[in-house]
Structures are given as C-alpha cells and as structure tokens.
Amino acid sequence: MSKLKVEMVFLLDSPYHVSADRVSFGVDRAIYIDPRDGKAVIPATSLKGVLRYCIEGALRARNIDVCEAPMPDRMCPRRGKDDCVVCKVFGSPRLKSRLVFQDIRLDSDIDVRMGVGIERRRRTAKEEHLFSFEVGYGKQFSAEIKGVFTSDDEAMKACALLFLGANTGFALGGGKSRGLGWVKLKEFRATIDGSEIPIQSIKDKLKEVLA
C-alpha cells in the first residue's frame, strides 16, 4: 500500500463566509467557530467538495468522461473498474473515498456585513430580505490531505488531480458572487511513503491523466 500526504498553503484574496449552525446574537448567518478555543474553522467537507467540483470541470473541458457529483443517480453506478477517475479517488455513494481531508483552522478576525436577497428573474432586491452575516478575515491557511492507495502510480494520479484542482482558482463557502472566499494556491507539497514528490513529476503525471 502507498501512503500519500499532500500539504497545501492557500492565500486568502478576500474575506470568506462558511455557514454554520452556531447562533450568534444579532447575526442571521454565523460562520463556523470551534467552541473549544474560539478559532474559525473551514470544515474539511467544504474544501473536498470544491476541489472535486473544480477537478470534474477541468476534466470535462478535456472531454474526459466523469460522473455528475453530488447527485447519486448521476454518479458511477457500481463499484469496480468502470468507476470514473474522480470517484476512484474522491469516492461515491457506493465507493469509499481514498482521501481524508482535515478541517482547516484559521487565525482570523470576524466582522459582520449586511446583505439583501435578490430576485433573479427581475434583478431587483426582494422585499423584507435584508440579512446580516459574518465574514472571516485572514492572510493564508494550510490544508492537509492523506490517502492510502494500492500502488505508487494510483497515489500519483490522486496527487496530480489534487494539484489540478488546487490550481484552478476557486472560492470557499458561500457568497462568491459577492466576492467572498476567493483563494489562490501558494505552496503544494506531497510525499508518498515519506518521500517527497518533485513538482515536475506531478505535472508529468497530470499530463498523462489529461491525455
């Protein structure tokens, strides 16, 4: 078995908003806070979901057949060799994910903003739809992803897909149409069984996956 570890550092180009069930007095939409120490947290599922979405879009642009997550009825129908390359790494309702994402902890300040609901068809503000929401501010954050694969080659393919997704440029959480949550990759480091993988080797494997 081959153990993959990927560490990524992202720069925050804008404040972010990741909704939570937390109640904050006077705020309609609070962000996720770890109650143990009060630090802002971006759940692992948020990063995993947006990376998968970006990877699928990039593969479709190359006419590579991938299923349509997260809708179960449009994902790979059975476990086996016919699963698409994304499901083999990220999993599906019928296939366990090979990757484990960690929650992202940030040292960030929190502010409150006001927003208004928009009537998309008429392109006007909805009546009585003014709301308040929290945003977090920070300079950068780190993300760690681990996975166990049947071979070094499979681990390299997963690493190449993560490298692809991380470099697409994306927004985390809600409010990206308001300019929130946009991030940019600063550093990408990966190891297989403790041995560092050169970036050029990752790029070469990505070319192979996209071919």
Whether residue 178 is contained in a domain is answered as yes
Q: Percentage of residues in the chain with pLDDT exceeding 90?
A: 42
Whether residue 29 is contained in a domain is answered as no
**Length, in residues, of the chain:** 211
Comparing 187 with 26, the larger pLDDT belongs to: 187
**For residue 208, pLDDT beyond 60:** yes
Residues in CB range of 61: below 8 A, 6 or more apart: none
**For residue 128, pLDDT beyond 50:** no
Comparing 91 with 162, the larger pLDDT belongs to: 162
Q: What are the C-alpha distances in Å from 12 to residues 21, 95, 98, 141?
A: 23, 33, 27, 8
Range in 26-35, 36-45, 98-107, 138-147 with the lowest mean pLDDT: 26-35
Q: Percentage of residues in the chain with pLDDT exceeding 70?
A: 81
Encoded tokens for 81: 């060799």
**For residue 117, pLDDT beyond 80:** no
Whether residue 125 is contained in a domain is answered as no
* Domain that includes residue 45, residue range: 2-16+38-108+139-210
Whether residue 6 is contained in a domain is answered as yes
What's the one-letter identity of residue 182? W
Residue 2 confidence class, pLDDT cut points 50, 70, 90: very high
**For residue 34, pLDDT beyond 50:** yes
Whether residue 123 is contained in a domain is answered as no
Range in 5-14, 172-181, 191-200 with the lowest mean pLDDT: 172-181
Cis upstream peptide for 70 (omega within 30°): yes
Residue 125 confidence class, pLDDT cut points 50, 70, 90: very low
Please count the CA atoms within 13 angstroms of the CA of 158 that sit on its side-chain side. Answer: 29
- The count of structural domains within the chain is 1
Which residue bears the tokens 């006077």?
Answer: 26
pLDDT at 207: 95
d(CA 167, CA 103): 20
d(CA 205, CA 199): 10
Whether residue 28 is contained in a domain is answered as no
Comparing 102 with 176, the larger pLDDT belongs to: 102
**For residue 139, pLDDT beyond 80:** yes
